[in-house]
A and B are shown apart, each in its own frame.
Chain A
């Protein structure tokens, strides 16, 4: 049972490039979320989903897109990377909100 798998673990992008952070879970969880973690700011919610085909914006959605075509996968797309998006990104999944299981994170640097 792999839990929540995030890829890649590390990524360096140039300003203006786009990329997709992958997230997959094998626990058949309905709820999935993306957070970014920056020093002193805790985890801030980017987008969340309560099931396939259902997504909504969180606290800091600008510059990011998501889709949820299957229960298992919840990719996060950076449309045009900016230095302000340098952060550690965590994907998490939950069975109806009963506490999240987190992935190991993706450390993204935008230069």
Chain B
């Protein structure tokens, strides 16, 4: 069965600083990997996804993520954080289960941005 670990419950960065959110997954084969963002009181929005091919994927809002098979990681990065990036970020792994394809989420990392 697949699982996802997001080691950081919350992170604080200064506006304009770079950001890296960590994600580690567990799955026997190559998984489908996703990052989602949830603004306060809102639903979730897909930032980016990885299925195969180039291990560095670009997403919306200037985010990117790198798949590293040797480390079972899929960390999310942004070169310069804006105050509007303050939100909760979820890493997710999709894989085939007994009933078909299912997606499991990590516990999330809450990002605080200070001026």
How does the 8 Å CB contact mask read for A48-91 relative to B, with 1 for contact and 0 for none?
11110011111100000000000000000000000000000010
Q: How far is the CA of A50 from the CA of B34 in the complex (A)?
A: 19
Please report the number of residue pairs spanning A and B whose Cβ atoms sit closer than 8 angstroms: 71
B101 engages A50 (CB within 8 Å): yes
A56 with B43, Cβ < 8 A, contacts A35-B105, A42-B90, A43-B105 known: no
Q: Which chain A residue lies CB-closest to B44? A: A102
12 other A-B residue contacts (CB within 8 Å) besides A43-B44, A43-B105, A56-B102 = A31-B100, A31-B101, A42-B90, A45-B103, A48-B102, A48-B103, A57-B99, A90-B43, A97-B103, A98-B51, A100-B36, A102-B45
16 pairs of residues in contact across A and B, judged by CB atoms under 8 Å: A31-B100, A33-B102, A42-B107, A43-B44, A45-B105, A48-B99, A48-B102, A49-B99, A57-B99, A90-B43, A99-B34, A100-B46, A100-B103, A101-B46, A102-B44, A104-B43
| Interface residue tally for chain A (C-beta within 8 Å) | 32
Q: Are B104 and A50 in contact (CB under 8 A)?
A: no
Alpha-carbon distance A69/B107, docked complex (angstroms) = 31
Minimum C-beta distance from A88 to chain B (A): 10
Assess A97 versus B94: contact at CB under 8 Å? Given A56-B100, A105-B43.
yes
Query: How many B residues face the partner with a CB closer than 8 A?
Result: 26
Q: Are B106 and A42 in contact (CB under 8 A)?
A: yes
A54 CA / B99 CA spacing, docked (Å): 8
CB interface residues, B 46-71, toward A, < 8 Å: 46, 49, 51
Specify the chain A residue showing the minimal Cβ separation from B46.
Answer: A99
Chain B residue contacts of A41, Cβ below 8 A = 107
A38 to B67, CA, bound (A): 28
B6-63 at interface with A (beta carbon < 8 Å): 6, 9, 32, 34, 36, 42-46, 49, 51
CB distance from A74 to the nearest CB of B (A): 13
Whether A55 lies near B99 (C-beta < 8 A) is yes
Query: How far is it, in angstroms, between the C-alpha of A44 and the C-alpha of B92 when the chains are bound?
Result: 11
CB A25 to nearest CB in B, in angstroms, measures 13
